[in-house]
Structure 1
Amino acid sequence: MKEAMASVFCVSGCTLNQWALDFTGNYRRILESIKRAKAAGSKFRSGPELEIPGYGCADHFFENDTELHSWEVLAKLLDDPTTFDIICDVGMAVQHQGVLYNVRVIFLNKKILLIRPKMILCDDGNYRESRWFTPWCRPKVVEDFSLPPMVARITEQSRVPFGDALLETRDSVIGFEICEELWNPDSTNVDACLAGAEIIFNSSGSYHELRKRDLIRDLVTSASLKSACVYVFSNLRGCDGERVYYQGLSNISMNGKFLAVGRQFGLDEVEIVTAKFFVEDIRAKRATFRSRGIASASTCTYPRVKADTYLVSAIGGLANSAIEWPEMDAEEEIAKGPACWLWDYLRRSGQGGFFLPLSGGVDSASVATIAYSMCSMIDEAIRAGSQEVLADLRMVIGDQKYVPPEENGAKHICQKLLFTCYMGTENSSGTTKAAASSLAAQIGSNHQNIIIDTAVKAIIAIFVAVIGGRIPKFQAHGGTPREDLALQNVQARIRMLLSYLFAQLMLWVKDRPGGLLVLATGNVDEALRGYLTKYDCSSGDINPIGSISKTDLKSFLKYSVDKFNLTALSCILDAPPTAELTPLKDGQVVQTDEADMGMTYAELSTFGRLRKQLCCGPLAMYLRMTAEDPSARPADVAKKVKHFFKMYSINRHKTTILTPAYHAESYSPDDNRFDHRPFLYNPQWKWQFKSIDRYVSQMTLPTNPRALLSSGSLSRKPELV
């Protein structure tokens, strides 16, 4: 192990933008990453989780085709000279003895060294791994695996090791983790390092959530510091066909210090992080880490497989110096994450751009700004020499000779990709119309101003003719709440109908092929409360802000005023949020969102956090809110909590049809996979609300319901409700 003192090792991790079931593209990107790793002098290349089939295959993992094509891709990789003289670690799904596993396949020079299955699966958040895979339940055990003939012919191996083992090269020992194994309290890297592993490779599929990036920093640095090792974290990046965006940030850490960190967001499909380091620094750290030495000496034997190669850099060079973790505010995450997700979806959908109903409010302005951020990133990538991004842009707009101009390139690209439309009615204000036009001019979108009153009146006229002459009225004109709501919803739904008409025909008008994707504009707080019209502009093909709070969107727009020089956003931020669906009074808007909802956006964020993140029902939410704000009147808190749960319940049907949205917030009510709840509620919540009433009347403010149970406060016979 100590043949070459002060020798520089070189290893690489990869960030890949893979696409579920795109075996051709996935193979091309994997091969390119291996080429780049070798060019950097690396002797070990590790990629992200399930990189061959794509992480988001979902129930396609049940299909034999998915595994078959994965083996075919692996066979091509094994047989390609590009993969020679470097240890390659790739991810796929493999069936062993009738059980499907999420595995890493480690190979060198046409020989498979080890197939290492995932031992701890992830089933929280948007993950459902145990639906398709089984964890390897035999730590430190290796079995024989029979290779399929197509691979055996290339490797000249009939059986290879399958299980939990370390890889021993001629100069070091390597261990493996797969994503969730790092997050778990009993991380597998600990035993591996105690058994002698000096380098840990983690292959991950970690998606973006706002403010999550520092969690990766803490987990990786803690692992490399506590285990005294080099830790290589390789992650997916991009939209591979799901509502999530995998966030990159591949990195390499040694003894608690970062040696290399990749970008979190970017348009490049392949990115390499490479580090050169002295392995003696690990051994010196372990020699002085006395309690670790005792634990290591008492650990169980770990099986090892041998690789007849060295990890010493193929081209030499200096070892990496430690670097700082790059910080990023939530506003920048909103500017870049959803923008990259939109670009991936657009270029992979075969459509020619986006259509956005631009109302002049915060939500639609946020979507427009994110789209403009996307165009800015495209322009920056092309200026940096990315032929891949330029080729994708030309394909989308249908012009194989297009090159954005040197000046105002992002604005010119936006003119090609984003079509916006202000759909006014007699209830719309001049302020919002001006704001929408000003913003569209600053970002360069194709913009239209239209009036939809004729269509609204035509729909109402059909109803009046059918029911015999009764004319519904707004409350401001003497109508009932039912009439008022129906008239508001007609306006909102006609906007969606027109959005799809324009989206399908605007490129036809301009003699361009394809159609436009309709961008929805509902935020996470309004979805949670159900404050939206079913099938209005909260509906669309995709929604970049559907999991972002109004509070964060406002902060993002403030950031964008300076970042993108979009001064039109200032007046949008100053105006109170309003749907503009009821009659004006003296030319001014009288309807506001917060008054209609009966709660503020800040309160909605609190309700969302307590409901989802802290798993609070009505009683627990009331108790938590009174504990967090002792100055609040218990009766007021109770009223707000009851109103929230009532409105959440009666509007639950809206949540089930929300437009597929970018996942960014951990209290999202997305019904697809993230937040599984009943479809039909009793909105009276009789038992729960009466429990709240008892505490209001008693002015009792315990901190949580578990404390009540343990103290016996709820042990008396409950009243029937």
Structure 2
Amino acid sequence: MEVTYSDKVEVTGAMITFWKVRGLYIQCGNDLHGRATGDTVLHSWEALAKILAGEDTMGIICDIGMPVVHKNVIYNCRVIVHNKQILLIRPKMWLANDGNYREMRYFTPWMKHREWDDHFLPRIIQAVTKQVKVPFGDCVVSTVDTCIGVELCEELFTPASPHITMGLDGVEIFTNSSGSHHELRKLYTRIELIKEATLKLGGVYLYANQQGCDGDRLYYDGCAIIAMNGHIVAQGSQFSLNDVEVVTATIDIEDVRAHRTSRSRGLQAAANAKYHRIEVPFALSVGKFGGTDGERTLGLEVTLHEAHFHRPEEEIALGPACWLWDYLRRSRTQGYFVPLSGGVDSCATAVIVYSMCRLVAEAATRANKQVIADARRITGEPEDSSYIPSDPKEFCNRIFHTCYMGTENSTIETRTRAKDLAEAIGSYHINLNMDAIVTSVCDLFAFVTGARPRFRAHGGSVAENLALQNIQARLRMVLSYLFAQLLPWVRGRQGGLLVLGSANVDESLRGYLTKYDCSSADINPIGGISKTDLKKFIAYAQGAFDLPILRSFLDAIPTAELEPISETYMQSDEADMGMTYDELSVFGRLRKVEKCGPYSMFTKLVHEWGSFLSPVQIAEKVKLFFFEHARNRHKMTTLTPSYHAESYSPDDNRFDLRPFLYPSRFPWQFRKIDQVAAVLPDRSNLGPDKAKTD
């Protein structure tokens, strides 16, 4: 049996993917996590009618995803089609309703497992299929030579997945069209679940995943998988600019039957409740004489593959870059604008854009017609132009604009780094000083109030010092949008640019950013990535992208450069925050992933950090983190939409639905932490080995 996968084709509002069996396509719609309005349901039936009316799907099984209203309840469904007939409508039983997903906003899970009803078809479908009603429910499809079961996205991730009971009832092939988003280091979990689904159970698992930007914070990273008996048979690419991707494998269904011969499996299968079978009179396998008699093909050997995983720094180079490309071509704007500060964060944002340009150039070199057409439209070239974006630096110069906005507090080092980086990647770059604008704002305030604020270094108060820093930060946001709107006009082009933010996930978690400063942008490709991972990405890109200038960014001390520099003082981000970026990553994971409050976080860190910090020191760090997180939580309500890449993202617009007004002193929790810290032994001078044994 030859199975081929194609990742994405759009048909009048329905997202369709394809399985190919014996040279014929089985279409699988991507799982619908999103919106299901009345129009969506109507247009999905219209799209299905168009598919059924054509000849392209004759002689094949089609598995198409769409919302279906059954008895006035809306379900997320798979519609199984063969020869212009609907065989089965299979509703989803376990919905994704946490993290980034809210399927139960619109859909209801099918709660009658292994049961089915009659579903009366709309007239637009009856006119094509000549059917009045079809089975609706938890059923499987039986061909002459095998049995096929459907699993929907989240159902693979549940403890009691449907493939278990389906497999015990004789289902040999499982299809799963999924909408699983990219997150750093997540692919390993997905592949292990797919392998495990058939390791003990036996079977063939066909996994299709959506690929591309969903118009929001998520990027679906494709990576189609064909697995058999716990082994990977074929794997598609994880990141690609292609709209369609095909993965092929040849398998022997007899290998599944041989894998299922254990007596314990047989006893469980004999006691398993049965599924209703929808029978179709054709075979998928090719016999030894070339026919479809279902006999085993002689001498067939299945090739197994090791699963391929990108390193996290490679994922950062590819995932956000693909997301930016989809966002750029969908928004129909002319490029991106980034304020370059000379620091790691804005540097990482710029290098991700350059990575996008590299991917575009690679795709154009391979004659990808869609990428070339999109690139011509974005750069203002006519459709019949001969322009090919084959040089990433040249293409970067057309669509990427950077600007260094210096003040009297800026250093020549950061200005030079920004300029050198722009030259290395090819962006259209501007250097400017904004002291006159800052002075004008301060003059206005002094004229109105009769008081002129001063920096702390000049004798000013904490409030004055903070206000003067925020003036600079917020004015950079205003200038960013001014330049983004007018730079194409300056260069003789039409349209505008999207402003990119460059605040990392740790700064958002801690609230170490000015509300409505240049962290406020249209989108942010690094808003879900930790500072630690960003530095690893920069180190990777230095060699992989041949950008030696990146070493100077890694060697520089992170600083906002918003205060005057003296012989005895230079502003440092980690000193201002009162914690390191590495510590912030730990706090973030404990708070979100491990669901820790202040006290439970303290007790965990006493064991993890106790060899080099005293209980009192750990207590102070935990209290400081929760205090700063609580009092800055309101900033998350206006956070720039960020590429989701990290499991401890504090983005409250979808992922982290927590309050934004906390009692920042946490009186009960902090008091308990102090009480326990006061009596715990100090192991910090024992050394790590001794501390573990004691």
Structures share a fold, TM > 0.5? yes
User: In structure 1, how many angstroms separate the alpha carbons of the residues matched to 2:302 and 2:457?
Assistant: 70
Matches within 5 A, 1:357-372: 357-372=339-354
What is the aligned counterpart of 1:693 among 663, 674, 681? 674
The answer for the alignment partner of 1:48 in structure 2 is 30
The answer for the alignment partner of 1:426 in structure 2 is 408
What is the aligned counterpart of 1:323 among 296, 300, 305? 305
1:461 is the counterpart of 2:453: no
User: In structure 2, how many angstroms separate the alpha carbons of the residues matched to 1:426 and 1:691?
Assistant: 46
The answer for the alignment partner of 1:608 in structure 2 is 588
Matches within 5 A, 1:579-658: 579-586=560-567, 590-631=570-611, 632-658=613-639
How far did residue 56 of structure 1 move? 3.4
Q: CA contact under 8 A between 1:521 and 1:543: conserved in structure 2?
A: yes
Cα RMSD for the two superposed structures: 1.9
Q: CA contact under 8 A between 1:87 and 1:108: conserved in structure 2?
A: yes
The answer for the alignment partner of 2:397 in structure 1 is 415
The alignment partner of 2:325 has SS state of: helix
The alignment partner of 1:178 has SS state of: coil
How far did residue 332 of structure 1 move? 0.2
1:296 is the counterpart of 2:274: no
Matches within 5 A, 1:353-392: 353-392=335-374
How far did residue 589 of structure 1 move? 7.0
Q: CA contact under 8 A between 2:361 and 2:389: conserved in structure 1?
A: no
Flag the structure with more relative contact order, 1 or 2, with Cα contacts below 8 A and sequence separation at least 6.
1
Q: CA contact under 8 A between 1:47 and 1:235: conserved in structure 2?
A: no
Choose 628-637 or 376-385, whichever is displaced more: 628-637
The alignment partner of 1:488 has SS state of: helix
Q: CA contact under 8 A between 2:372 and 2:389: conserved in structure 1?
A: no
The alignment partner of 2:319 has SS state of: helix
Q: CA contact under 8 A between 1:17 and 1:238: conserved in structure 2?
A: no
The alignment partner of 2:34 has SS state of: helix
How far did residue 313 of structure 1 move? 5.9
The answer for the alignment partner of 2:98 in structure 1 is 124
Structure 2: 5+ residue runs without aligned partners? 292-296, 683-694
Amino acid at match of 2:544: K
Q: CA contact under 8 A between 2:252 and 2:302: conserved in structure 1?
A: no
The answer for the alignment partner of 1:707 in structure 2 is none
Change (3 A) 1:545 1:212: same
User: In structure 1, how many angstroms separate the alpha carbons of the residues matched to 2:150 and 2:553?
Assistant: 51
Deviations 1:176-198 (A, max 9, x none): 10011111010100100110101
What is the aligned counterpart of 2:505 among 513, 524, 539? 524
Change (3 A) 1:79 1:452: same
User: In structure 1, how many angstroms separate the alpha carbons of the residues matched to 2:646 and 2:9?
Assistant: 22
Q: CA contact under 8 A between 2:627 and 2:664: conserved in structure 1?
A: yes
Q: CA contact under 8 A between 2:560 and 2:573: conserved in structure 1?
A: yes
How far did residue 320 of structure 1 move? 4.6
User: In structure 2, how many angstroms separate the alpha carbons of the residues matched to 1:525 and 1:625?
Assistant: 18
The answer for the alignment partner of 1:704 in structure 2 is none
The answer for the alignment partner of 1:81 in structure 2 is 55
The alignment partner of 2:241 has SS state of: coil
How far did residue 210 of structure 1 move? 0.4
The answer for the alignment partner of 1:489 in structure 2 is 470
The answer for the alignment partner of 2:387 in structure 1 is 403
What is the aligned counterpart of 2:77 among 82, 85, 103? 103
User: In structure 1, how many angstroms separate the alpha carbons of the residues matched to 2:544 and 2:282?
Assistant: 49
Matches within 5 A, 1:44-193: 44-50=26-32, 55-57=33-35, 61=36, 63-193=37-167
The answer for the alignment partner of 2:529 in structure 1 is 548
How far did residue 511 of structure 1 move? 2.2
User: In structure 1, how many angstroms separate the alpha carbons of the residues matched to 2:31 and 2:267?
Assistant: 34
Change (3 A) 1:506 1:17: farther
How far did residue 290 of structure 1 move? 2.4
How far did residue 12 of structure 1 move? 3.4
Amino acid at match of 1:305: I
Deviations 1:71-110 (A, max 9, x none): 1111111112111121110101111001110000010111
The answer for the alignment partner of 1:672 in structure 2 is 653
1:256 is the counterpart of 2:240: no
The answer for the alignment partner of 2:688 in structure 1 is none
Matches within 5 A, 1:23-42: 24=12, 26=13, 30=16, 34=18, 37=20, 41-42=23-24
Amino acid at match of 1:165: C
The alignment partner of 1:454 has SS state of: helix
1:394 is the counterpart of 2:376: yes
Q: CA contact under 8 A between 1:276 and 1:313: conserved in structure 2?
A: no
Deviations 1:261-296 (A, max 9, x none): 111111111222232211111111112x22111111
User: In structure 2, how many angstroms separate the alpha carbons of the residues matched to 1:635 and 1:15?
Assistant: 54
How far did residue 405 of structure 1 move? 6.0
Q: CA contact under 8 A between 1:394 and 1:402: conserved in structure 2?
A: no
User: In structure 1, how many angstroms separate the alpha carbons of the residues matched to 2:214 and 2:628?
Assistant: 34
Q: CA contact under 8 A between 1:37 and 1:272: conserved in structure 2?
A: no
User: In structure 1, how many angstroms separate the alpha carbons of the residues matched to 2:66 and 2:672?
Assistant: 51
How far did residue 48 of structure 1 move? 2.4
How far did residue 681 of structure 1 move? 1.2
Deviations 1:139-175 (A, max 9, x none): 1111100100001110110001100011001111001
Structure 1: 5+ residue runs without aligned partners? 1-8, 702-721
The answer for the alignment partner of 1:498 in structure 2 is 479
User: In structure 2, how many angstroms separate the alpha carbons of the residues matched to 1:17 and 1:347?
Assistant: 17
User: In structure 2, how many angstroms separate the alpha carbons of the residues matched to 1:446 and 1:638?
Assistant: 48
